[in-house]
Structure 1
């Protein structure tokens, strides 16, 4: 099984922390975010496609050094960092659409644990979500019966808490490449939620509710994550 890691962005809201280092290589609890991701991957994930951009050579060197003998690694470089959804579509050559091959999409700044990953893989299609208890910009999720995701709406001006936010682990199949990304009017970005919002209309995607208030947007969030048990 394959996993796609979206690690192209700079993480501007991290400020000085990402001046000389890409966000996925920032450390939490003594390990880089990418280390946490790789350590959470189930054993049946034997191939990883990493989408890189900002200071991508640092990411490539780190992953080849520590995981090159453990996983089959591929790297795709993208230039337009604000087009996050296009980062997903950039890996389509690894997944013939006719096969309906399932795979994981993981944000390079996500911190999933092994339990959450296992729960995601228990479904045909799933999306790791987190309850958020403060107003932040995120994709707000609406659930139906048995936690099926009915809708996700990207809000850049903040959501009224508490709310369920779409996280950075998605289990999809190659149908995802058939959807066209849509420009978010206020952020002027192409969010992954723009294609996932279309995918969930045609597929039964279920929410896996992970740890609450789990997000890494600013340097303060790094400090908070280091203090969280």
Structure 2
């Protein structure tokens, strides 16, 4: 059985982190979202088919032709035209039953297993407290699908469509019959309606494990927190100099270096090639990415530093996500708390969205640089390759638009 992984979207809600890389390659802990989907499904699939689109060459370069002992093939969705259209691109390489997973969602292995065991055609579903923001599933008395209603004001059940499926190859015939939606896309839920109209049995694979849709920047922190919570003990393969203090669950990869006076309070992951200190303080679900630099007297808290990022000495970064190659000048400080105590809001596709986080810092795109003694306000986005002047106080997004 193949695992078809959808990884073609542009990820505009995740900007600026996706302005120069596809969302499925964003890191969660020590590997990408896409790799974590592969990990979850490897026990039930024989090969992967990845549907690429936006910056698909980066996905091909990062993953290659195999993952572990599973072959990986690629098909292209040249323009985003809906989930059914994305799945249809896999038709030339599919000849047996297959499962469909999203390349930007954090899940447990139990989900693909449930789909694999469910029967010919199946949709995964999970119980949610407030289903009004989801596709809501109704079932017969024996648990098969009767209907999916998108974001109903009065949900008929509390079962939410997870967006993961199992199909037989004849699904492609039904996709060919699927009409275009009002928003100009081909929806797989409409395809499922055609199956129901033909009295086809669709199993509902119930799932109660981890399901995190990593669609917005602060959700990358949520996913990171979930993964780091699973670390047990301390795993130190890198170089640790004298007078370094390690507390709680921590991974220090081979090739990482913790200099004198560094203190790390886990959970935390210090990746290969990272250089921390001297006298730096790392705490709270933090990932110090590959080949990063955290300078003297820097504090980094509950933050993701992506590959080759650098935070200059005497800086503070809290509850933030810094993209690849970001360079924070000495004395750069991030505000992560509103004075009124309300949760921090962030601009997403033109709307100011509540993160539901009382503490949230900044989102910084690849290659951005701050001048020394820059101050960044809570919820600010700094776009790729953008800069600040020495001593500047940035209270609004700078996205180069």
Shorter-normalised TM-score: what interval? Answer: 0.7 to 0.9
* Alpha-carbon separation, structure 2, partners of 1:198 and 1:80: 24
Shift of 1:87: 1.3
Unaligned ranges ≥5, structure 2: 230-401
Q: Which residue of 1 aligns with 2:59?
A: 59
Establish whether residue 167 from structure 1 lines up as the match of residue 165 from structure 2: no
Which secondary structure does the structure 2 equivalent of 1:117 belong to? helix
Shift of 1:36: 0.8
Establish whether residue 89 from structure 1 lines up as the match of residue 88 from structure 2: yes
Q: Which residue of 2 aligns with 1:151?
A: 147
> What's the CA shift string for 1:63-110, capped at 9, x where partnerless?
11762x6222211112111333111111112235xxxx2111111112
Unaligned ranges ≥5, structure 1: none
* Structure with a larger share of its residues in strand: 2
Is the contact made by 2:44 and 2:112 (CA closer than 8 Å) also made in structure 1?
A: no
Shift of 1:181: 2.8
* Alpha-carbon separation, structure 1, partners of 2:196 and 2:219: 29
Is the contact made by 1:4 and 1:49 (CA closer than 8 Å) also made in structure 2?
A: yes
* Alpha-carbon separation, structure 2, partners of 1:170 and 1:132: 18
Aligned length: 221
> What's the CA shift string for 1:114-144, capped at 9, x where partnerless?
1222222221132222333346643221122
Is the contact made by 1:110 and 1:168 (CA closer than 8 Å) also made in structure 2?
A: no
* Alpha-carbon separation, structure 2, partners of 1:159 and 1:112: 27
* Structure with a larger share of its residues in helix: 1
- Segment of structure 1 superposing worse, 1-10 or 201-210: 201-210
- Classify 1:14/1:134 alpha carbon distance in 2 versus 1 (closer, same or farther; 3 Å): farther
Is the contact made by 2:51 and 2:74 (CA closer than 8 Å) also made in structure 1?
A: yes
Give the TM-score normalised by structure 1: 0.83
Is the contact made by 2:41 and 2:112 (CA closer than 8 Å) also made in structure 1?
A: yes
Alignment of 1:204-223 (within 5 A): 204-211=202-209, 214-223=212-221
Give the TM-score normalised by structure 2: 0.50
Shift of 1:111: 2.0
Is the contact made by 1:131 and 1:213 (CA closer than 8 Å) also made in structure 2?
A: no
* Alpha-carbon separation, structure 1, partners of 2:89 and 2:206: 26
Greater RCO between the two (CA within 8 Å, min separation 6)? Answer: 1
Establish whether residue 182 from structure 1 lines up as the match of residue 197 from structure 2: no
Alignment of 1:42-53 (within 5 A): 42-53=42-53
- Classify 1:131/1:215 alpha carbon distance in 2 versus 1 (closer, same or farther; 3 Å): farther
Greater Cα radius of gyration, structure 1 or 2: 2
Q: Which residue of 2 aligns with 1:104?
A: 99
Q: Which residue of 2 aligns with 1:25?
A: 25
- Classify 1:207/1:15 alpha carbon distance in 2 versus 1 (closer, same or farther; 3 Å): same
Q: Which residue of 2 aligns with 1:78?
A: 77
| Match for residue 113 of structure 1 among 105, 108, 111 | 108
* Alpha-carbon separation, structure 2, partners of 1:109 and 1:196: 22
- Classify 1:93/1:13 alpha carbon distance in 2 versus 1 (closer, same or farther; 3 Å): same
Shift of 1:225: 2.4
Shift of 1:44: 4.7
